[in-house]
Amino acid sequence: ELAGAIAARWQAWVAEYPERAKIRKAAMEKWRQERDAAALAGKPFTRREPAAPEGAGSRWEPSSLYNGMLNPLVPYALRGFLWYQGEANVARAGEYSRLLPLMIRQWREDFQQGELPFALVQLANYQSKVDKTGVQWAFLRETQSAARALPATGMAVTIDIGNPTNIHPSNKQEVGRRLALWAKSHILGDPPECNGPECAGVEIEGSLLRVRFKHAAGLRHTGPSAVGFEVAGKDRVFYPASALIDGSSVTVSASQVPNPVAVRYAWRNSPEASLFNAAGLPAGPFRSDTWQSP
């Protein structure tokens, strides 16, 4: 079923290639005219030429990257995998929740070395111009976090080091450092903390919700207050919440929600992320509800 849906989507994309090629040809002609006009006028011209459309045989074709880059390495001996991807799947979080675990299992089966450690990078903050809901990236991040249910699978949270206007943020050094912390802990047995604060449960305390965290030694917030929290009542309408740190927990409330039943944190494409532990690692986005995704 899943493979069939992906194949059908690709065939539809290939069928549209001639029209996309035609559009690109016209765009290229306009681009050349503007470039040449700028050169004649002695003016700078920095706009890149329109990207060529992808079609049959391209890197976008299902399994093309696997066959070209990973399969030739089988059966080399490995110590584990690092995976940084997901941006192209944000509109299909439900599908990705099945694809990612399948991929992890398949890679481990291919290399026949047992439960090879697998660490992934959760999507950073990015203000998508395409997603009008403002939360598609949050739901995709949730599927990435859920993949940690597989044995020997970890994740580096990067919700604080993205670039809201660039899908390829530049701070890869910190991404690598956070992945390395997990690898050192789970492959080399190095004990230092490698996880940021994680929601361990939510309790209702009258007009407040108490969010309990694990990996919360030295729980703190950046800036004058903890931000990024939202609460909702039974009507499922979320409002920004005030948040107070209390040891390894955070109490959240909003005047518009006298009887809160759900809390979300950093649940936006490009949210404010303010919660860290003593290791300097950020809390990942989370929600206590299971309400339908967009």
Edge-first strand order for the sheet with 229-232 is 238-240, 229-232, 262-265, 286-287
8 Å CB contact between 213 and 200: yes
How large is the average pLDDT for residues 269-275?
Answer: 95
Residues 198-210: tens digit of each pLDDT:
999 999 999 999 9
**275-293: average pLDDT:** 94
pLDDT at 224: 87
Q: Return contacts of 145-148, CB within 8 angstroms, 24+ apart.
A: 145/284, 145/285, 145/286, 146/97, 147/100, 147/101, 147/104, 147/120
Q: What is the mean pLDDT of the chain?
A: 96
Could you tell me which residues come within 8 angstroms of residue 83 by beta carbon, excluding any fewer than 6 positions away? 118, 119, 120, 121
Q: pTM for this one?
A: 0.92
Question: Cα–Cα distance between 200 and 186 in angstroms, integer?
Answer: 21
pLDDT for position 1: 85
Own/partner contacts of 185-194, CB < 8 Å, gap of 24 or more, are 186/117, 186/119, 186/152, 186/154, 187/79, 187/80, 187/117, 192/279, 193/217, 193/277, 193/278, 193/279, 193/281, 194/154, 194/279, 194/281
- Please provide residue 287's backbone torsions phi and psi, each rounded to the nearest 5 degrees: -145, 150
pLDDT band at 293 (very low <50, low <70, confident <90, very high): low
Q: Do the Cβ atoms of 269 and 294 come closer than 8 Å?
A: no
Helices and strands of the chain, counted as H and E runs: 6, 13
Please say if the pLDDT value at position 294 is more than 70: no
The contacts of residue 3 (CB under 8 Å, 6+ apart) are: none
pLDDT (tens digit per residue) in 65-79: 999 999 999 999 999
Of 195, 267, 193, 187, residue with least CA distance to 231: 267
Whether pLDDT at 163 is above 60:
yes
Q: How far apart are CA 17 and CA 11, in angstroms?
A: 10
Quote the DSSP letter at residue 158: -
The string of pLDDT tens digits covering residues 49-67 is 999 999 999 989 999 999 9
